[in-house]
Structure 1
Amino acid sequence: MSDNRIRLALVDDHRMLLGALSEWIRRAADDINMVVAVASWPELLTSPDFPVDVVLLDLDLKDSIPVSLKISTLKSAGVKVVLMSTYSEPNVVREALAAGALGYLVKSEDAEMIVEAIRAARNGESFISAELDLALNAGTVGGSPKLSAQERRVMALYGGGEPVKAVAFHLSISEETAKSYLKRIREKYRVAGFDVGTKVALRKRAIEDGILIESDLPPRS
């Protein structure tokens, strides 16, 4: 099993968070192997376990190295990048995504969502914190929000009639994680000007946005 696990490095100069998050991931995610947990960029690059599969990187490290340079360095080593920040301006988020970061999270994000972001990055999929996604799209009210690949899967299954428990089973995630995805989806649509608070409304929106094909739906009784 260990050969197939995601080899993860965590870089954060807040040592209490570094220790707590490292321990949480070790306990909560059997498919993730935390091989490096360090407080600085040089420690990551000089670690005997580098390169890894995914780096969870604190954007707010107190050094003078541009984040775009860090991301390009990791990309050239074949490493996927998920960034964490206490807060961020939308233009900083855009710069990081343009440089090649696959994930972007605020540190207040649920721990299960951090694990999901790591898994998404390993698969080459993007995962943006709901808070930051809303900030990025603040001027686009009226258009459909941008959903991650996993959010689209959750919306398709749930909108197609599956209960939350079945959605979780199909996607190999916990029921709580599935509920967190639904909450994120509804919040993104709410900010975009669409109410998908009910299952019927969410189903209708999923069809309109091409996430759910009407012919794939089970017949109504």
Structure 2
Amino acid sequence: MSSAAPDRVRVAVVDDHPVILDGVAAWMASAADVELVGAHGSLALLRGSPAHPVDVVVLDLLLDDVPVTALEVAGLVAEGSAVVVMSADADPGSVQRSVEAGALSFLPKASGRDELLAAVRAAAAGEAHVTPALAEVLAAGEGRRPPLSPQESRALVLFGSGLLLRTVARRMGVGEATVRTYLQRARQKYAEHGVRLEGRVAMYEAGRRDGWADEVGPGSR
């Protein structure tokens, strides 16, 4: 593809549906200030492209039936790309965690050309574009999960995964008593949000449901 002029927004789309890729490409081609420099079926293909990092990545949150994690969204942002989430099947929790990780907008796939281009232009300027769909998700999720510290969330995920207390302590580089304190604090914060964490299964479900497992990362499990 030809290189973009300096004042054009360089955009890549990541979606596993060719029809969506073709449709978004046509929309981008109709805008004089936007250039589509990549249309990929996976994040691996995006990162393997010589055009990456681009100005804006339009990202589906479900690729080949595998959810895109908040860590992956944060990774794109760290690499220098603004992220606009455009997804049909994403659950509200995934959308909220993506925004917390740095995504600047969320659009349902039923959104039209003008809405998508507005979100892309805003993202290129480093600004959030709050669509009605995003506002609804954020309002529904406000206060949904308690504000655990990184140590508390890591202890919750590791212990909930079935590891022994001493193994969790070794992985975290702290004593067993400290791990117990982290777990006690996590339970207390959940209790203040009306959720009782009784046993490992409840901890595991909380870690998965509320995104702590994504934030802790696979290397810590």
| Same structural fold, with TM-score higher than 0.5 when normalized by the shorter chain | yes
How far 1:71 sits from its partner (Å)? Answer: 1.3
CA distance in 2, matches of 1:62, 1:114: 23
How far 1:138 sits from its partner (Å)? Answer: 4.5
- The answer to whether residue 117 in structure 2 is matched with residue 115 in structure 1 is yes
How far 1:45 sits from its partner (Å)? Answer: 0.3
Q: Which moved more, 1:8-17 or 1:62-71?
A: 62-71
Larger Rg: 2
* Aligned 1:167-178 pairs, distance under 5 A: none
TM-score, normalising length: structure 1 = 0.58
CA distance in 2, matches of 1:100, 1:68: 9
TM-score, normalising length: structure 2 = 0.58
- The answer to whether residue 19 in structure 2 is matched with residue 16 in structure 1 is yes
- 1:42–1:136 distance in 2 versus 1, CA, 3 Å: same
Count of matched residue pairs: 139
Q: Which runs of 5+ in 2 are unaligned?
A: 143-221
- 1:6–1:62 distance in 2 versus 1, CA, 3 Å: same
- % identical aligned pairs: 37
For residue 38 of structure 1, what is the aligned residue in structure 2? 40
- 1:32–1:127 distance in 2 versus 1, CA, 3 Å: same
Q: What SS is found at the alignment partner of 1:119?
A: helix
Decide which of 21, 28, 33 is 1:25's aligned counterpart.
28
How far 1:94 sits from its partner (Å)? Answer: 1.4
How far 1:17 sits from its partner (Å)? Answer: 1.1
For residue 205 of structure 1, what is the aligned residue in structure 2? none
Aligned residues: CA RMSD: 2.0
Decide which of 4, 7, 10 is 1:7's aligned counterpart.
10
CA distance in 2, matches of 1:108, 1:7: 23
Read off the aligned partner of 1:83 and give its amino acid letter. Answer: V
Post-superposition, which runs of at least 4 consecutive aligned residues in structure 1 deviate over 6 A?
A: none
CA contact (8 A) 2:92 2:141 kept: no
For residue 60 of structure 1, what is the aligned residue in structure 2? 62
How far 1:65 sits from its partner (Å)? Answer: 6.5
CA distance in 1, matches of 2:6, 2:130: 28
For residue 82 of structure 1, what is the aligned residue in structure 2? 84
Q: Which runs of 5+ in 1 are unaligned?
A: 141-221
Read off the aligned partner of 2:35 and give its amino acid letter. Answer: N
Decide which of 116, 126, 129 is 1:127's aligned counterpart.
129
How far 1:110 sits from its partner (Å)? Answer: 1.7
